């Protein structure tokens, strides 16, 4: 499947720099970002079901990461 997106020159420059750092080309970097985003959205959806009121879920802090 092909998807076309429009990016500014500044955005492409940032993505190319990030891709070079990860030893990928621009296309592979964009695919990696989208893949990671899909994986993370699946993980987040599992926790949304526990909140009855959507407004509470929007304005509540989520406890993630390591405790101090």
Q: Is residue 22 domain-resident?
A: yes
Q: What is the 3-state secondary structure (H, E, C) of 14-35?
A: HHHHHHHHCCCCHHHHHHHHHH
Domain count, the chain: 1
* pLDDT, tens only, 14-68: 999 999 999 999 999 999 999 998 888 776 655 555 566 667 766 766 666 666 6
pLDDT at site 33: 93
Which residue has tokens 């509470």? 56
Q: 12, 26 in Cβ contact below 8 A? A: yes
Question: Is 3 inside a domain boundary?
Answer: no
Residue 48 lies in a domain: yes
């Amino acid at each position: 499947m092909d998807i076309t997106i429009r990016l500014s020159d500044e955005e492409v420059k940032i993505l190319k720099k990030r891709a070079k750092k990860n030893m990928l080309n621009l296309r592979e970097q964009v695919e990696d970002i989208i893949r990671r985003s899909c994986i993370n959205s699946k993980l987040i959806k599992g926790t949304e079901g526990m909140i009855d009121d959507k407004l509470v879920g929007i304005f509540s802090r989520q406890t993630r990461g390591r405790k101090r």
